[in-house]
Structure 1
């Protein structure tokens, strides 16, 4: 390189797209035009990841470029084709939370090849990898010299001879000088006649990578929403005169949740027991439960309509429901699109068995919603650690726990267990309970309650492991934003990691029935 031909590398700008396309056409002159990145491709790539695209310039002249994006690489299945990794050249697949820098393309104008330009571009990539604390740079490398050995050597043999110095390949030797290691040879990476369709799988590790810091800095994007605003009710079980009064109170809470832009609204266990006060006086509790169960369709219609009108995922507490000839304590999840999904209470208290005639429910369900994986454990269910652990092993992010407790000791059993489940499993637990009382209804004559949203206990979460809690025994709501990405990170990198540090050599947890994954729309 002559002194006047000083080349510098800088971050590409949108106005460089046309010049980058010109370099691509010159460097890949033997390729069909449809297989070469055009000005539109480069503009999209710069827009998707501005700091990841570089140009080599001599004065104002663009003489080379290197394009890259951040991706999440599965070490157990590391091979992908170019179109899949790059979103067909648009870089729509760029994931700021990924673990690897993917080298999509590097090209130098033929007039400037052999002058060290490519090595300057590779150095820019290495610096980018280290700046973002990524574990590696990965790429698919062309082997354009292989066509001359068609029928004489396999692609793998050809690559090995280049690595051993017996043969030279313009592209592969450049990659090796840059510090890449060949991890494999694959077919179908690009439509590349010179390479006969083959490519090397190249890896350049980052020796200074700090994976734990990377986990904390990133926020893996695995589902549609990674932050969820949750509203939990403290519901006043006061006397009402009609079903319409009940509907008015339910809508009041929905309106409140919607006014605070909540995604999810949670009501307490047996919230519908408020309707006992509208039934004929003097009937037995079992008769009241039967009348309440007879309102199932009307209640579903009410909650479903409210969820749709207010655009909420609405956990309608729980209510007695007849199922398979018995009475079950059933919770329903209502969706903005009109869906209704059910989880029955699995563990029944002695009082429910004796006075309410409730039988244990069936089915362990995980609801795959657009806002995260949700499960419902009703009151007493939270006191069984095995159930929560199974649900979390099936990917649950948010555990909803509607409860009904009559005095402080009862409440604290639920509250302490909810907090323990949050810590043990790195999961959010949302508590919604009743307050007040119904003087004419012996089953609900008194309630002690405090809604709360419990979190794990580590640096990414509140000091006391509580995102929000209400004032005891007062009708109100509690609202908190839950960071689901923090769960993904902390389960891997927290100060203590109960999910990872279990002694599988000493004990195990097994289900006797399948855990159902239900896709919620």
Structure 2
């Protein structure tokens, strides 16, 4: 006969089955079962927190919980203290932590992954109630076999390393719980655990503190990339008309970001062709601040955040390659290219910047790197450690070889930093502008590589060498899930004990 398994809320009518299962589960702790008035009190206080698992309609296990304001109790508490000496007056519906006070499965029904179902139900409850995580005190019932050989810390480490099997702690590790602390006298009558317990913690990756429903940060972000055609615009006015056309077009799709390429204002250098290369680019740099102001106006008017590509700028007589983030709230930030290419240095005398930082937006934390910058993994790693979720890379490449260097390195940054990377480039040619003859690009949005993402790691891409826009949606929640549950977790698994990245530049 096939078994029917159900996860549901515990009811008062379940008590006799509950008592039988609990006495069997704790046969090594005589008399350890919840009395009926206590269970009824718990169900009245927090009914959705009391979860039963049934087999053929018989309760064979449960998970009992309360909500607490964890700061009131901290990490040094006993089971009696956290449960209010079994009165549960510690339960606070406005608290921030789901506290697990009981999980058990009848021994006759173990091996069916019933406890895992209970834990999954408890995690779902934690997420649904927007609590920051689950905390529980865990028994270590096999410790009595090793107490004369190992300290509790040594025992826990060996269980973690799978050298020792502990029926409770091994299960907790397999369910993504971390041991935060070793507790003494948590359950003084727990002889098999020698009075010790593990303070276990599971983090809710979806937790949002003090949610403001009006300004709530969206999880799905729409990105618009402009694959810009180089052409003769005759003057600044014609150039700005084309800029506004693309901002308008991308904003019509409801995009949150529009991204322009590196040095996409190079056609304006035609005005300065009578000068040498260094003089021509310094000439076009005089338009940069005016172009930025137009971008800022468009960001507000079209309700879209704009990565302005990059443009040359002169500051304190030095020439730099600068990109602006123009937010739709009317504020802006900037990023200066750190790694000028050899040709930028030799032809134009461009200097490298000395600052990297993550930018806050209404669609998450972003980073900006300009072309050659993305070919160096260390700065992107630093941005990732600061919480970057999307990396924007305006680029300008002349050949397919040069493009592939940017593309392949951008893909690597997405994988190793578990983030999205959006790259936007120029296409076409400028026969009347020195040092800007040919351009090759295939703009795209790149993703990490795991089951939740496209198998190619490409969310969307442009037709090579064609003026167009690319529109793509990226899901920031998938990044959180990847960080916590991915097949591999590169950010989490870095060997900080062996190596690290240190930023030495000015902050």
| TM-score scaled by length of structure 1 | 0.63
Change (3 A) 1:56 1:382: same
1:203: how far off?
Answer: 3.8
* Corresponding residue for residue 148 of structure 2: none
* Corresponding residue for residue 125 of structure 1: 48
Change (3 A) 1:469 1:213: farther
Change (3 A) 1:123 1:393: closer
Separation in 2, partners of 1:457, 1:304: 35
* Corresponding residue for residue 311 of structure 2: 319
Residue number among 230, 243, 247 corresponding to 2:236 in the alignment = 243
The answer to whether the 8 A contact 1:220-1:488 is kept is no
- Structure 2 gaps of 5+ residues are 1-7, 14-35, 55-61, 104-114, 124-174, 178-201, 210-215
Residues 56-135 of structure 1 correspond to what in structure 2 (within 5 A)? 117-118=40-41, 120-121=43-44, 124-128=47-51
Change (3 A) 1:250 1:205: farther
Residue number among 318, 330, 338 corresponding to 1:338 in the alignment = 330
Superposed CA offset, 1:247-297 (max 9, x none): 1111111011111000000000001112123x0543322222111111122
Change (3 A) 1:136 1:496: farther
* Corresponding residue for residue 276 of structure 1: 269
The answer to whether the 8 A contact 2:336-2:353 is kept is yes
Separation in 1, partners of 2:290, 2:52: 59
Change (3 A) 1:327 1:115: closer
Residues 6-405 of structure 1 correspond to what in structure 2 (within 5 A)? 117-118=40-41, 120-121=43-44, 124-128=47-51, 137-140=65-68, 172-175=85-88, 203-206=100-103, 207-208=115-116, 209-210=119-120, 219-221=206-208, 224-277=217-270, 279-405=271-397
1:242: how far off?
Answer: 1.6
Change (3 A) 1:117 1:397: same
Separation in 1, partners of 2:501, 2:396: 29
Q: Say which is worse superposed, 342-351 or 222-231, in terms of deviation.
A: 222-231
Change (3 A) 1:119 1:402: closer
* Corresponding residue for residue 487 of structure 2: 495
1:479: how far off?
Answer: 1.1
Separation in 2, partners of 1:422, 1:205: 41
Two-structure CA RMSD over aligned residues (Å): 3.7
* Corresponding residue for residue 438 of structure 2: 446
Change (3 A) 1:123 1:335: closer
The answer to whether the 8 A contact 1:345-1:381 is kept is yes
- Give aligned pairs, total: 365
Q: Say which is worse superposed, 410-419 or 495-504, in terms of deviation.
A: 495-504
The answer to whether the 8 A contact 1:314-1:333 is kept is yes
SS in 2 for 1:436: strand
SS in 2 for 1:400: strand
* Corresponding residue for residue 477 of structure 1: 469
Separation in 1, partners of 2:506, 2:53: 44
Change (3 A) 1:139 1:381: same
Separation in 1, partners of 2:52, 2:479: 25
1:340: how far off?
Answer: 2.1
The answer to whether the 8 A contact 1:268-1:404 is kept is yes
The answer to whether the 8 A contact 1:216-1:489 is kept is no
Superposed CA offset, 1:39-85 (max 9, x none): xxxxxxxxxxxx99x9999xxxxxxxxxxxxxxxxxxxxxxxxxxxx
Change (3 A) 1:399 1:123: closer
Q: Say which is worse superposed, 298-307 or 119-128, in terms of deviation.
A: 119-128
Separation in 2, partners of 1:261, 1:129: 45
Separation in 1, partners of 2:38, 2:430: 87
Separation in 1, partners of 2:274, 2:505: 42
1:349: how far off?
Answer: 0.7
| TM-score scaled by length of structure 2 | 0.65
Separation in 2, partners of 1:130, 1:438: 70
Separation in 2, partners of 1:136, 1:55: 12
* Corresponding residue for residue 167 of structure 2: none
1:365: how far off?
Answer: 1.5
Superposed CA offset, 1:340-374 (max 9, x none): 21100001111000112201112112101121101
Separation in 1, partners of 2:299, 2:46: 54
Separation in 1, partners of 2:367, 2:64: 37
* Corresponding residue for residue 436 of structure 1: 428
* Corresponding residue for residue 511 of structure 1: 503
Separation in 1, partners of 2:64, 2:280: 65
Change (3 A) 1:405 1:429: same
